[in-house]
Structure 1
Amino acid sequence: MPHTLTRGALPLAAATTLLGGLLALGSPGRADAAVPDTIPLTITNNSGRSEPVYVYDLGTQLSSGRQGWADADGVFHAWPAGGNPPTPAPDAAIPGPAAGQSKTIRIPKFSGRIYFSYGRKLDFRLTTGGLVQPAVQNPSDPNRDTLFNWSEYTLNDAGLWLNSTQVDMFSAPYAVGVQRADGGTTTTGHLKSGGYSGFFAALRAQPGGWGNLVQTRSDGTVLRALSPLYGVETGALPANVMDDYVNRVWQKYTTSTLTVTPFADQPNTKYYGRVSGNVMNFTNSAGTVVTSFQKPDASSVFGCHKLLDAPNDTVRGPISRTLCAGFNRSTLLVNPSQPDATTADFYRDAVTNQYARAAHAQMADGKAYAFAFDDVGHQESLVHDGSPRQAYLTLDPLS
């Protein structure tokens, strides 16, 4: 995917990779006649809100690599050239269903996002490098006071991958679903009864600045909670919020070994981590150092980047993904063999990703994409089918 469709400064390609590697999950080169050029997406508005809903299907056309939007019939429209300063993008809004109603549109073979907003349209701009998407961690972003959210998806010749995501923010709730070739339906993303307000209450009750992640409108409407990565970047969370845990991990593995088995289908591929000074070195079974990590800070942990960068390779990336999950879930001290698949171990330490803990706790099935590599151990809120008949997006109550 071209690195031009940007969310603030982050390419959508990077965002999609962070959200579990949707592009890597299905190769566009794999032919499967069962996947048509477009499939129906039924949007159901169970929000209970009276405002109009606007829907957008934005992304990269897989057949051409061009970036643009799709209309309600699934017809692709390339973005025109942008400017500097950014110029307004064409109006790509599709009128959504009223409260209590459903509307079906068609989505094409894309890798991108389905946005929805309540009450007002989103403000998209085009730079010379592509589309600038909402970045509400910036107080001057024109979408800061709009209630909106989005889902990530890839539809290609190998099938559909569709998720609900909280990697950037927790906001207007929704669930995703896919009707499989056998006629059955898989769904994920629904909150428990009272889960929306319960999430925000949990953050506000957590000491240490976690309540500062919550953004409200001047009329009192709760709009969202920023991810802890953006909390650190904006100063809402202290930069040292994870230091105590990271220091304890570093101390433990100075005198013991952390074993990482990154591939579930390759149990004999193991890497062994030991700390020396400020560096954790990983060796393979032959004792050769294959990669090393500096002691990460909170931004590296919450963003699974910088000092925990995860390139798309077969060694460092898989190890980094595992470390990222272990730090966010605070399992590295309770289990020296990672990844830890025992959900009872997750988020038990006093120093942990409280945002992710609250998000998973309020999900009806416990699944969420609350940080970049929340798919480690299959904890992500993702649906997939190789021959999808129908996709679903359900807008849930804000209660």
Structure 2
Amino acid sequence: MGTPAPAEATSAGEVTSAAEAAVPATLPLKITNNSGRDDRLYIYDLGTSLTTGQQGWADVSGTFHPWPAGGNPPTPAPDASIPGPAAGQSATIRIPRFSGRIYFSYGEKLVFKLTTGGLVQPAVQNPSDPNRNILFNWSEYTLNDSGLWLNSTQVDMFSAPYAVGVQRSDGSTTSTGHLRPGGYNGVFNALRTQPGGWAGLIQSRADGTVLRALSPGHGLETGGLPSGVLDDYVSRVWQKYASTTLTVTPFADQPNTKYYGRVSGGVMNFTNGSGTVVTSFQKPDADSVFGCHKLLDAPNDAVRGPISRTLCAGFNRSTLLANPDQPDPTTANFYRDAVTNHYARIIHAQMADGKAYTFPFDDVGNQESLVHDSDPRQAYLTLDPFS
């Protein structure tokens, strides 16, 4: 879901000429295949060109190719695959100024099609998706005048393990996304034994090969997860804040900007410091919580969006009952309630640095698996072992 978003500039001329000079038109991405798998590997660099504004793909040299016109029904997209390195080897491609995804697949090429509206991304929660039985994953990135944002993501699914990294101008590197030893199998084992239907998120081939765990929101779509899985917790939150005030401080760099929530007539109303109601929320269902949308929609504004993202993080991490001041900065308090986003809890617990992007606003409190540098020299995608 979405690509990592750079911080917004405060004016149209904010980006300095030094920053523009520092970020090249294309950046080397070193792909290392430590998967231990013998399957043929395919790489794809797909997205929106920040130079032309068109959707398309980049080849191994970073040259941009716009998609041709699609159709209805969708028509096959051009083959944008790049041969990946064999197990135990590395290869370097160049990535252009993009907001997009780096896909990788094992054993088979992915199937991409084009509609009149553009590219159809894989959606394996749909049983008829042509990529349903392919083992694949993707990373998201933005490369622009202000630098590189590159993440590992589990917002849609947990699948083939990988990590991302960046080399800075001083030669140092930083990375994130690696699992703990045994962490890949640990995620699936924990989901299988988690009461409440969480095993229903796991998708396998007919031969028993485990392919992925869908995110809870997609699990609701498939019927793999019960629709009322969060009802008890949400009801307890609504009950608590009918008589208690929920204080939201949505901006870490603006500690004096606060909003105050109380439930009245089944609706949580938020007021500002003057007592004026600035936004209201209906009692959310599990789909709204897991997707941080619908009844918890978060528009890109200065009030409702920031409040909603804070609420979304609090619901997914089940911190709203324990702490009336949100967001809760203490990771030891996350996922402590029996009713929580166990998908997110389990994945974070298996990450080497505890960081992961398991729901859309997992970046609240900087819990996301993201690397960023304003003067990048090289990016890294490391495909990790499955065992």
User: How would you bin the TM-score normalised by the shorter chain?
Assistant: over 0.9
Instruction: Please tell me whether the aligned partners of residues 270 and 284 of structure 1 are also in contact (alpha carbons under 8 angstroms).
Output: yes
Instruction: Please tell me whether the aligned partners of residues 62 and 93 of structure 2 are also in contact (alpha carbons under 8 angstroms).
Output: yes
- Structure 2 CA distance for aligned equivalents of residues 26 and 160 of structure 1: 15
Relative to the length of structure 1, the TM-score reads: 0.94
Give the C-alpha shift of residue 26 in structure 1: 6.9
- Structure 2 CA distance for aligned equivalents of residues 177 and 80 of structure 1: 32
Instruction: Please tell me whether the aligned partners of residues 190 and 363 of structure 1 are also in contact (alpha carbons under 8 angstroms).
Output: yes
- Structure 2 CA distance for aligned equivalents of residues 278 and 70 of structure 1: 50
Alignment: residue pair count? 382
Give the C-alpha shift of residue 273 in structure 1: 0.2
State the secondary structure of the residue aligned to 2:131: coil
CA 1:82/1:26 → structure 2, altered by over 3 Å: closer, same or farther? farther
- Structure 2 CA distance for aligned equivalents of residues 121 and 110 of structure 1: 22
**Aligned partner of 1:204 among 192, 201, 207:** 192
Moved over 6 A (4+): 26-29
Relative to the length of structure 2, the TM-score reads: 0.97
Identity %: 79
Instruction: Please tell me whether the aligned partners of residues 26 and 159 of structure 1 are also in contact (alpha carbons under 8 angstroms).
Output: no
Structure-to-structure mapping, 1:316-327, within 5 angstroms: 316-327=304-315
1:30-52 CA-partner distances (Å, limit 9, x unpaired): 24210010010000000000011
**2:344 is aligned with 1:352:** no
Instruction: Please tell me whether the aligned partners of residues 117 and 146 of structure 1 are also in contact (alpha carbons under 8 angstroms).
Output: yes
**Aligned partner of 1:378 among 358, 366, 375:** 366
1:100-126 CA-partner distances (Å, limit 9, x unpaired): 000000000000000000000000000
The one-letter amino acid of 2:365's match is: G
Structure-to-structure mapping, 1:292-303, within 5 angstroms: 292-303=280-291
**2:143 is aligned with 1:155:** yes
- Structure 2 CA distance for aligned equivalents of residues 150 and 367 of structure 1: 17
**2:96 is aligned with 1:108:** yes
Give the C-alpha shift of residue 25 in structure 1: 5.3
1:339-375 CA-partner distances (Å, limit 9, x unpaired): 0010010000000000000010000000000000000
What residue is the counterpart of 1:22 in the other structure?
5
Structure-to-structure mapping, 1:354-369, within 5 angstroms: 354-369=342-357
CA RMSD, aligned part only?
Answer: 1.1
Instruction: Please tell me whether the aligned partners of residues 204 and 210 of structure 2 are also in contact (alpha carbons under 8 angstroms).
Output: yes
Give the C-alpha shift of residue 219 in structure 1: 2.0
What residue is the counterpart of 2:156 in the other structure?
168
What residue is the counterpart of 2:386 in the other structure?
398
What residue is the counterpart of 2:323 in the other structure?
335
CA 1:26/1:369 → structure 2, altered by over 3 Å: closer, same or farther? farther
Structure 1 spans left out of the alignment, 5+ residues: 1-14
The one-letter amino acid of 1:306's match is: K
1:272-331 CA-partner distances (Å, limit 9, x unpaired): 000002100000000000000000000000000000000000000000000000000000
State the secondary structure of the residue aligned to 1:325: helix
Instruction: Please tell me whether the aligned partners of residues 23 and 111 of structure 1 are also in contact (alpha carbons under 8 angstroms).
Output: no
Give the C-alpha shift of residue 24 in structure 1: 4.5
What residue is the counterpart of 1:285 in the other structure?
273
The one-letter amino acid of 2:294's match is: K
State the secondary structure of the residue aligned to 2:22: coil
- Structure 2 CA distance for aligned equivalents of residues 232 and 276 of structure 1: 29
